[in-house]
Amino acid sequence: MAETNHTDVQANGILFRYFLVCILLLFVVGGIVFCIADIVFVEKKEWLKIAERERNRIPDRIIIPNRGNIYSSDGRLIATSFPRYRIFMDFRGEAIDTLAFYQKPKTSKKKKPDSAAIADAKKNGVDSLAFYLSEKFNKDENTIKKELKEAFKKKMKRYKIYDRYISYTDLKEIRQFPFIRLGKNRSGFIEETFVERQRPFGSLASRTIGDVFTRLDSLGQTQGRNGLELQYDTILRGKPGVKSIRREAGVWREMPIIEAENGMDIRSTIDIEIQDITERALLNELRRTNAESGSIIIMEVKTGEIKAITNMERTVSGYREDMNYAVASMTEPGSTFKTASIMVALEDGVCTPDEMIETGNGVYDYLKNNRPIRDHNAAKGGYGRIPVEEVIWQSSNVGMAKIILKGYEHDPMKFINGLERIGLMEDLRVGIVGAGRSLIRKPGDKGWSKASLPWLSFGYETQIPPIYMLAFYNAIANDGKMMRPLFVKEILKEGKTVEHFPPEVVRASICSGRTLRIVQDMLTGAVEQGTGRPAYSPLIRIAGKTGTAQIAQKGSYQGTGHQVSFAGYFPADKPVYSCIAVIRRPSPTFYPSGGAMSGGVVKNVAEKIFAAQTKLDVKKMAVDSLAVLLPAPKAGEGKALRKVLNELDIKTDRKEMESPWALASVNGDRVKLNDIHIREGAVPRVTGMGAKDAVYLLENAGLRVSLSGRGRVVSQSIQPGQQVNRGQTITITLR
């Protein structure tokens, strides 16, 4: 009995819990039903609005900022951006409208399609699309149609509609073409945006200005590739924005969420005129010598601003800018380095300008088992015994090696310290990505030997980019003050200066004033009396030093060619510009000469810059004895003639005229006016007049006029003063 009661109690407990669960489920179901009813009946309108808004919304898109421009020193545009597009069709989508693609003119076996049917076909489908594409891109319509059908059949992912970039104007037009205008989903039309960096002045300084990648990155921005474009990429590229595209009142509208911030502009130090002069001069010499490559840099002495920089390399299609050798080339400079060596030696008191050095026959066998040091004229017997200054003038390797060995043979590190003291190893922080830096071998370095010191003295055992060597020569021209090379003057935003880059002094003095004056005289003598003679100009005084070095390749100098250079400044007395020109591997048919090749380029550049910047006061110029002081006026209406002469501030000999017509002639510094008397019924005198006045007078007198020539009347077929026969033809000759 007790056991039965226990079972009943247990069953009742289960039923009670089951009942509670059912009650809870009823509450949940009731809540759901209530919410559904609330949404369907109470909140219906609000949720319909939200659904409509979401249906009419396109995912947010990036607003591409405009990349900043690059300007020349005088504000002329030298690099700017234009959007360009590539167009494709993706035929893989399930939404591609097959019926629309294959739509053709309606026809029957008995009747060919009429003009209306053909016109309708040209509004729809592959036939009409091929027609419009053929008209747009001047291609065969049948070929395009065949390619489109084949691509559609194969469900190609990226059928290329056109091989080249197109403009935004072209893109807008193509979006309205048949089939494509159905939309991206139904047509598979794809457009890819690229940015083309255009340069209004062509290739001028193109390697220094740099390039950008045409394809946009994941943020829809351009990226600098090299040169100033890469160095100042974060400034030029700007910041992208975000826009929402919604459909409102049946119209799609763009609503910016975050505004794009356009890139800032930069104003470079490049002078377009000087850049053009240097590029032409270098290019002419490279073509003449069939050289492999060449570089030239022009720097403003007082500021360090780079006014021109050109790098040219020979290619299959001709010379073009490829690598920025001027700032990145790590090669041995050759004899232009001798100026640094002699400066250290003079500063340390190792020698004096007039001290005599024995160079012998031009061959110096310093170490028996080593390569002998040779002068360029060794085959002619060398220079013999010459003063130190002439060692620089004549660029004697033997003389230079002996001077440096005399002072530093037992303490090479003292010489290295001297090179560092004069700024040759200074970090110039050149504002170009990939720029090199001076590397000078010293005791303890790999490869240093007893022979290193004399070879270092004339430009071997070291690697110095041309811009570093130029900065050193610029310091000589700038009274010893070394300037950091500047490529950018300021950063601009909407035409206003955001940041200005003033001239920066890297080293206040590279040597004493006494040493500096000696070196300056040596450089002037090198051009006027030494190996730099080809750079001598009767128009502008140039100072500088030539350099010729064999190019090392895999540790060997055999058959590797030469690099010739010239570094200096002009005008020598009051320097305005410094310059370095480097030519690599000229044709073996030419004797490698830093003076004749690179020096000739510098001379050409200096003279043209001098001519372009010379301003003459016209008032102080001597009067040309053959010059026409006053124009010869034509005869004609006196009132109009006098008005023109008064406007030109030309004096006349008469204030009042009896006749309304006047004959004009030049008389010294004024114009003489004589009356032309017109008598009724008589043929008027028209010689000296222009065609307009002559024809007016003659036709007014009743004559028919025949003209021959142009200019002013020199003769008339009927003499003036004769009686007029109305309707008679008179011929006037103008010249």
Q: Of 63, 488, 491, 499, which is closest to residue 262 (Cα–Cα)?
A: 63
Confidence of residue 520 (pLDDT cuts 50, 70, 90): very high
Strand, helix or coil for residue 63: strand
Give the highest mean pLDDT range of 312-326, 339-353, 673-687, 710-724. 339-353
Predicted local confidence at residue 655, as pLDDT: 64
Predicted local confidence at residue 626, as pLDDT: 61
Residue 3 scores a pLDDT above 60: no
Confidence of residue 624 (pLDDT cuts 50, 70, 90): low
> What residues pair up with 486 in beta bridges, in sequence order?
305
Choose the weakest-confidence range: 96-110, 295-309, 456-470, 548-562: 96-110
Residue 317 scores a pLDDT above 60: yes
Over range 383-411, report the average pLDDT. Answer: 94
Predicted local confidence at residue 502, as pLDDT: 94
Fold classified for 272-613: Beta-lactamase (3.40.710)
Higher pLDDT, 45 or 399: 399
Choose the weakest-confidence range: 157-166, 223-232, 342-351: 223-232
Contact 358, 411 (CB under 8 A): no
Predicted local confidence at residue 554, as pLDDT: 65
Residues whose CB is less than 8 angstroms from the CB of residue 263 and which lie 6 or more positions away in sequence, other chains included: 65, 66, 67, 68, 235, 236, 237, 238
Residues whose CB is less than 8 angstroms from the CB of residue 531 and which lie 6 or more positions away in sequence, other chains included: 376, 393, 394, 395, 546, 593, 594, 595
Predicted local confidence at residue 360, as pLDDT: 92
Quick one: the chain helix, strand, coil %, rounded to 5? 35, 25, 40
Q: What is the CATH number of domain 636-734?
A: 3.30.10.20
Is 62-106+115-267 in CATH node 3.90.1310? yes
Higher pLDDT, 610 or 36: 610
Give the integer Cα–Cα distance in Å for 406 and 417.
16
Over range 159-180, report the average pLDDT. Answer: 87
Positive or negative torsion for Cα 433, 438, 441, 447: positive
Predicted local confidence at residue 50, as pLDDT: 62
Higher pLDDT, 346 or 673: 346
Predicted local confidence at residue 294, as pLDDT: 93
Give the integer Cα–Cα distance in Å for 411 and 381.
32
Predicted local confidence at residue 570, as pLDDT: 96
The reply to whether 636-734 shares the fold of 272-613 is: no
729-734 and 704-709: which strand pairing?
parallel
Higher pLDDT, 192 or 441: 441
Predicted local confidence at residue 178, as pLDDT: 86
Confidence of residue 343 (pLDDT cuts 50, 70, 90): very high
Predicted local confidence at residue 114, as pLDDT: 53
Residue 266 scores a pLDDT above 60: yes
Predicted local confidence at residue 393, as pLDDT: 95
- Considering the chain, what percentage of its residues have pLDDT values greater than 90? 36
CA dihedral (464, 465, 466, 467) in degrees, to 10, reads -110
- Determine the straight-line distance between the first and last CA of the chain, rounded to whole angstroms: 151
Higher pLDDT, 413 or 121: 413
Choose the weakest-confidence range: 366-370, 429-433, 572-576: 366-370
Q: Quote the Cα angle for 13-17-23, to 5°.
A: 145
Residue 399 scores a pLDDT above 80: yes
Residue 627 scores a pLDDT above 70: no
Over range 292-312, report the average pLDDT. Answer: 94
180-207 tens-digit pLDDT: 888 887 788 888 877 777 777 777 777 7
Give the integer Cα–Cα distance in Å for 606 and 475.
18
Give the integer Cα–Cα distance in Å for 90 and 158.
5
Mean pLDDT of the chain: 84
Confidence of residue 103 (pLDDT cuts 50, 70, 90): low
444-469 tens-digit pLDDT: 998 899 989 999 999 998 999 999 99
Confidence of residue 475 (pLDDT cuts 50, 70, 90): very high
Residue 251 scores a pLDDT above 70: no
Give the integer Cα–Cα distance in Å for 433 and 416.
28
Predicted local confidence at residue 529, as pLDDT: 93
Q: Of 306, 313, 346, 345, which is closest to residue 329 (Cα–Cα)?
A: 313
Tokens of 669: 């510094």
3-state per-residue secondary structure call for 628-681: CCCCCCCEEEHHHHHHHHHHCCCEECCCCCCCCEEEEEEECCEEEEEECCCCCC
Confidence of residue 510 (pLDDT cuts 50, 70, 90): very high
Confidence of residue 331 (pLDDT cuts 50, 70, 90): confident
Confidence of residue 504 (pLDDT cuts 50, 70, 90): very high
Choose the weakest-confidence range: 266-280, 396-410, 716-730: 716-730
Total Cβ atoms within 10 A of residue 157: 13
Break the chain into its structural domains and give their ranges: 9-55, 62-106+115-267, 272-613, 636-734
